[in-house]
Amino acid sequence: AQTVTQSQPEMSVQEAETVTLSCTYDTSESDYYLFWYKQPPSRQMILVIRQEAYKQQNATENRFSVNFQKAAKSFSLKISDSQLGDAAMYFCAYRSGLGGGSNYKLTFGKGTLLTVNP
Amino acid sequence: ETGVTQTPRHLVMGMTNKKSLKCEQHLGHNAMYWYKQSAKKPLELMFVYSLEERVENNSVPSRFSPECPNSSHLFLHLHTLQPEDSALYLCASSQDGKGRDEQYFGPGTRLTVT
């Protein structure tokens, strides 16, 4: 079974600075998808960024980018120019690219709580 | 109203009660999900419905019973729960549930079992 590990339970960053959140995963599959979700204190979880394993180019979404290292099974999230609104719990997630029922399942890490200091 | 809504937002119930959680999505999606979120644990997928058919059931105890009457509505019926079932229950929906498909989450129901 796939597992997702976020080794940093908590992180903090100064406003306007850059922070990197770590995520590693364990899989024997070659086709899969990786996601970062954000859950602000209001509790509604939203997608931040996603990456297809077959793509070598790292995904970017405005101030958010990933460092995808397939061989190392690492998928870190970089937040540039941090803003107070970035404060949230961040979850890394994995989905298999295989056919069948396993495609539906997202496997989540335990999350990293990010604090942004003014 | 847009997105994914959940009611009630908070629920306190005794172990002998029967209650139901409701989820509604206004996004035209075909897949819906129930997750359990407990402190210091990863989100646990409970059930997945695709086109109103249950496609995944992750060894969830029978005291949790899902129902999907149509592609816009999802219920979680609760009966004879245990205190360890206290958690945040999240509903989500997505277009088809596969590949790079994004899941849209509701705000959750905070359940306390006394």
Residues A3, A8, A12, CA angle at the centre, nearest 5°?
145
Residue length, chain A? 118
The pLDDT value given to residue B9: 95
Who among B42, B56, B104 is closest to A104 (CB)? Answer: B56
Give me the pLDDT at residue A110, please. 94
Hey, is the C-beta of B27 within 8 angstroms of any chain A C-beta?
no
pLDDT-based confidence at residue B20 (cuts at 50, 70, 90): very high
Among A31-35, A66-70, B13-17, B62-66, name the one with the lowest average pLDDT: B13-17
For residue B3, what is the nearest residue in chain A, using CA coordinates?
A: A44
Q: What percent of chain A shows pLDDT beyond 90? A: 82
Contact A103, B97 (CB under 8 A): yes
Of the candidate ranges B3-12, B53-62, B86-95, the one whose mean pLDDT is the lowest: B53-62
- Average pLDDT of chain B is 91
The pLDDT, as a whole number, for residue A102 is 58
Task: Kindly report, residue by residue over A24-58, the tens digit of the pLDDT.
Answer: 999 998 899 999 999 998 779 999 999 999 998 99
Q: Which of B43, B45, B55 is the closest to A91 by Cβ?
A: B43
Cα nearest neighbour of B30 on chain A = A104
Question: Is residue B29's pLDDT more than 70?
Answer: yes
> CB-CB: which of A101, A103, A106 is closest to B103?
A106
Euclidean distance between CA atoms A68 and A53, whole angstroms: 8
pLDDT of B1 strictly over 60: no
Cβ neighbours, 10 Å, residue A55: 12
Question: What pairs with residue A54 in β-bridges?
Answer: none
